[in-house]
Homo-oligomer: A and B are copies of this chain.
């Protein structure tokens, strides 16, 4: 039963359930590297269909990676949770072939609202910082069957 799972196993089970239907993250070539209670790390390599008119990775695609990391982090505690919105700052351009790593962690969780911070790195350099605001819907990610 869900209520008996330890937090790490619960986070992994939620991620597995969500990933199986997350067509968008799969289509963008993302990979889940790690999940835990309130945390997630995803990676993505910039493909030639992710580049914009200035020759660098489209900001919306960088944000999509961060948004997916945010989603896995904020659903990791077992309750279906959606993004109310987010704020992103682009620090450095990202180019074709770069491998991005997005690390999300829970900054605040209070009642149904949460704040999650995501740092996106290209090797060691920070290329974007992202702050997501979450809202829990109250129902479980995993349903007993």
Contacts and interface: CB of A to CB of B under 8 A. Distances in A.
A82 interface: yes
Interface residues of A, number: 56
A89 B85 contact: yes
Nearest to A51: B23
Contacts of A55: 21
A83 interface: yes
A85 to B, nearest CB: 4
B108 A91 contact: yes
* Nearest 8 Cβ contacts at the A-B interface: A60-B64, A18-B53, A24-B58, A85-B89, A27-B49, A60-B67, A22-B53, A87-B87
A52 B51 CA distance: 22
